[in-house]
Chain A
Amino acid sequence: MKATNIQDPEYFHKVVDCQYACPAHTPVPEYIRLIAAQRYTDAYMINWESNVFPGVLGRTCDRPCEPACRRGRIDEEPVAICRLKRVAADNKGDISDRMPIIPKKKNGKRIALIGGGPASLTVARDLMPLGYSVDLYDDQRAGGGFMRSQIPAFRLPEEVLNDEVNRILDMGVITHFNHYVDSLKTILDKKYDAVFIGSGAPRGRDLDLPGRQAADANVHIGIDWLSSVAFEHVESVGRKVIVLGGGNTAMDCCRTARRLGGDEVKVIVRSPFAEMKASPWEKEDAAHEGIPIMDNHVPQEFIVEDGRLVAMRFDRVKAVYDESGSRRLVSTGEEPVIVPCDDVLVAIGQENSFPWIERDVGVEFGKWDMPIVDETTFQSTNPTVFFGGDSAFGPQNVITAVAHGHQAAISIDLHCQGESVAKRPPPGVTLVSQKMGIHEWSYDSQVENDDRYQVPQAELEFTLSNRKLEVELGYDATTAFQEAQRCLNCDAQTVFSEKLCIECDACVDICPTDCLSIVVNSADEDQVRQTLKMPANNTEQDIYVSADLRTGRAMIKDENVCLHCGLCAERCPTAAWDMQKFYYSVSKAGQCG
């Protein structure tokens, strides 16, 4: 195999599993170290630059970083990255002097943002400091989009959301709240230099079953119902509630219903429990509040008596898989199950909907009536119209919307400056040795053995009676430090210089997880992977191959379970291995040159 090109920033980026998995590529280990050092404000700012809503995300993120965390491959559970982020947000000091300076003299370019959610706000956050004038349109009475209307207050207190949303609006965004945009044409007619559409996926799926119409007064679309609760149009629900669906919205619906008077709330889902879309921790939280989840039940009928919904009928099924692994739900043939209920919340998915975009304004639509959007530039077929967040490629999550917003802002900036939107700025990268002495590194290289720390929660008797009382209390400073110390510092990269190596095997012998081998190289990667001291069977993880050493062999490192403990570098007599901190930041709008 050819020697690994470590000049390519993507090589070491991929080694930092959490950062690589994060759609916004937040430099996770860096801010975790700052949290351990109680430098919460600095930790917050790293997050804020990258993901804009650290306080929101530290409570509600889908956490793609955590399943990716290297710790999860050597220990039972990954580092609690998400909840550590919250520690930074909760304990930060005043950051007003760290906010970007907004130029008084504008650059003369006007941008419209349709929708006030995370994608649009991120675009505003990136473009305001560059001197753009930004108009934001949203049909809600305040900014935040689904973060405000869909995420219940017991998971995300309104103050936290307001703080982070207002920080952007206070940059001088001209807001048009309570303003539903019903025509893209009228917006385009206002001669904006660019229009960004971050209008989300606003339509909840309905369930067309017998009795649906007759039961209409007590059947609610989950996301609409959550929104009505958030804006206090709905303040109670029946005593017996069925929530249909197995995703995170279903979890939010059932827990909200529990707080609005539903004392017999059940989640009923078609698929087997293990295949539900909801995050495991959200399922746990629902279970903790005494909400049963009935899996393998397919809804068949809304049962209405005397013009009122009284129950639902379900068919029991089991999952059958064919050779290709695709699933079919097959009836078990047992008696149908009748579940009495007063209200039903339908949380079986949501869809995009663009009735307000005229089909003759140059924005072309493709499959599933979705706009055709470039996956890198977020530009539509109308060069002045850009998409991001759920409205670009369908429902995702907040962190994905933020990532879209950053990229769309780059495109909008390039477009407004008359440059090609294809000219993407390279990431900002530094790689610096962390050696301080013979056994001393600038990071805490010692690997802690602690299990993951649980986040304490408020007592059920209080949380269930107050819809706005936050359930999770967050880590205290001591626990946050202990949890932060579980981080393996994967950004402290092992960097090898073959010219210095004397092939003494010291690194190979000391490596606790047998990542290193000095072996004869060959052209076939699969073969090389099998010749290592421990076969490198996780092919999702790269192997780091050196150029030929003096004996003609090569140093090969399997990145898979490296603890970044630095022992290879400490045991190396010639400093052929070194621990170097890799900092990777995704460039933002205005950083193209």
Chain B
Amino acid sequence: MTYIRPAFRHPDLPRNDLGFTRKDYEGAISTLCAGCGHDSISAAIVQACFELSIAPHKVAKLSGIGCSSKTPTYFLGNSHGFNSVHGRMPSVATGANLANRDLIYVGVSGDGDTASIGMGQFTHAVRRNLNMMYVVENNGCYGLTKGQDSATADIGSASKKGEPNHFEPIDLASIALQLGATFVARSFSGDREQLVPLIKAAISHRGFAFIDVISPCVTFNNNPKSTKGYEHVRDHLAATGTVDFVPFKQEISTEYEAGQSKEVTLHDGSVVHLHKADPELDIHSRRSALRLIKDYKAKDQILTGLLFMDEDSQDLHEILGTSKTPLRDLGVAELCPGQKVLDKLNESLR
């Protein structure tokens, strides 16, 4: 029985700018089914945070309920975490973010937690442009309750039980685009090369960064008639292009063909470099993204990659004009300035 990960690691593990190795970003060993796409996403988050040299204590992981929402236990074991009520992660994230704007917020949710019970919460977090990365680990089924179709299951897709789904699916990327998300991407758990730079860009983006990651449920929804199994997704995958994330201060060394590439500089100086596979895509246009998602779907293809971003967006703190100092750092003197200040304020309103 080895449900224990050995302590030994590769003796030559690289170290990042903080002197940490990947091991410092790992979490507990996963208890999900062997082969679950979610574990790949956890590994991608570990890799991205390692490469970004993020201090683990500067990250807060938030989740709701479901297989997906269990995963924060399996990555960033040295970070803060909050496992909330089903579908209520956006509220908790909003509260945490307003209290301490200095942390990096990583929200992990599933198709049930976001598109069903948490739909109301999700939409409002999007429209408020809460500064966080919101990852949906989308497997089209309720894995934790034995694989019933979820709200993102495609029409005609059949899970292990064999019954085709009759209901129109919710496309979370399209909804996020419509509600004003300022960074929208879609990816596949089995495409690490695409997913890691997308996560790095999403974490670096200021505002609501949404990534819909198709993540096969190996136990209940990985059969030939499912549209979210490994085989189907691989066979129907299309990408908007390849994304490179170049951190601030690092020279851009790759050369790109003119006309096919797009460079976006983020607020922290890092650069997202999109090498477009489809020249139709304009990543600054929601309409372009929405149209392409539909076009590819009509061709029975799943469009992945970076779909839209607005690097100059204003996040919730800027819209509300909140204190630059995190609320939790304000002392009694700042929070309760006393009768004189209150009187003065009241006077100004007369």
Contacts and interface: CB of A to CB of B under 8 A. Distances in A.
A502 B6 CA distance: 25
Given A514-B13, A537-B12, A561-B10, A504 B35 contact: yes
13 contacts: A75-B8, A445-B1, A446-B2, A447-B2, A449-B7, A504-B36, A505-B39, A508-B43, A509-B42, A513-B8, A550-B231, A567-B2, A573-B219
Interface string B1-30: 111111111111100000000000000011
B190 interface: yes
Contacts of A571: 34-35, 39
Nearest to B230: A502
A73 B10 CA distance: 9
B192 interface: yes
Interface in A448-504: 449, 502-504
Interface string A64-108: 000000000111000000000000000000000000000000000
Given A504-B230, A561-B10, A509 B39 contact: yes
Contacts of B277: none
Interface majority SS (helix, strand, loop, mixed), chain A: loop
A513 B10 contact: yes
Interface string B91-111: 000000000000000000000
Could you say which interface size class chain A belongs to? 35 or more
Nearest to A443: B2
Given A449-B6, A503-B190, 19 more contacts: A75-B8, A440-B1, A502-B230, A503-B230, A504-B35, A504-B190, A505-B189, A506-B35, A510-B5, A512-B9, A534-B10, A534-B13, A550-B231, A551-B234, A565-B2, A567-B6, A571-B35, A572-B34, A574-B35
A55 B1 CA distance: 33
Nearest to A571: B34
Contact of A534 (B12, B36, B219, B230): B12
B197 interface: no
A577 to B, nearest CB: 10
Nearest to B219: A573
B112 interface: no
B144 interface: no
Contacts of A513: 8-10
Interface of B: 1-13, 29-30, 33-37, 39-40, 42-43, 189-190, 192, 216, 218-219, 222, 230-231, 234
Interface in A497-544: 502-506, 508-510, 512-515, 534-535, 537
Interface majority SS (helix, strand, loop, mixed), chain B: loop
A198 to B, nearest CB: 42
Which 8 residue pairs spanning A and B have beta carbons closest together?
A573-B35, A447-B6, A509-B43, A445-B2, A504-B35, A573-B34, A571-B34, A505-B40
Contacts of A504: 35-37, 40, 189-190, 216, 218, 230
A505 B6 contact: no
A565 B6 contact: yes
Q: Which of A449, A510, A565, A573 has the most CB of B within 10 A?
A: A573
Contacts of A441: 1-2
A570 interface: yes
Interface string A410-444: 00000000000000000000000000000111000
A408 to B, nearest CB: 41
Contacts of A503: 190, 230, 234
A566 interface: yes
A534 B12 CA distance: 8
Contacts of B3: 439, 570
A563 interface: yes
B35 A502 contact: yes
Nearest to A574: B35
A584 to B, nearest CB: 24
Given A570-B34, A573-B33, A502 B2 contact: no
Given A504-B190, A506-B36, A506-B40, A570 B2 contact: yes
Contacts of B2: 439, 441, 445-447, 565-567, 570
